[in-house]
Amino acid sequence: MYPCEMKEQDARHVLSVRFRAPVQDLPRHFDRIYGSIIQYLETLGEQPTGEPFAAYFNMDMQNLDIEAGFPVAKPLPGKGDIQSSAIPGGMAAVCHYTGPYDGVGPAYEQLSQFIKDQGYTPIGPAYEWYLSEPDVPSQDIRTDLMFPVRAL
């Protein structure tokens, strides 16, 4: 079982890249995207204000529609495929998952049931917040799964 909770989220400014890819290609894309955003932030004299995230706009594992990036302190200009964006604030359901990325399915199922049991429905994309350093053993990887929600 994975701990789930309802949380009021503040809106967050982000720098991100939106792309499409099959699930098996995500590590390569994430490495490139997160690295390019960090490099760009350094040229601006800025730093991320939190962990990297990915927003999943669909669940087609062969053609995922994803936005990946970092929260930042204020709106910053985009450059090339790096865009200035925002994650809206509001009520969200969060599940705290620990384990390998390819085992996250049951945590999503539990979060979906939790949302329903609390009298809410998901709205918008599913977010994953990657809380662990890249060199952590797969069984110790910490990820927060998050759905923005509204009451039924």
Segment 60-80 shows an average pLDDT of 97
Paired tokens of 46: 């800025």
Write the CATH number for 120. Answer: 3.20.80.10
Range of the domain at 15: 4-151
The predicted structure's pLDDT at residue 135: 86
Is 133 a residue whose pLDDT tops 90? no
- Overall number of domains in the chain: 1
Question: How confident is the model over 73-94, as pLDDT tens digits?
Answer: 999 999 999 999 999 999 999 9
What predicted TM-score, i.e. pTM, was given to this entire model?
A: 0.94
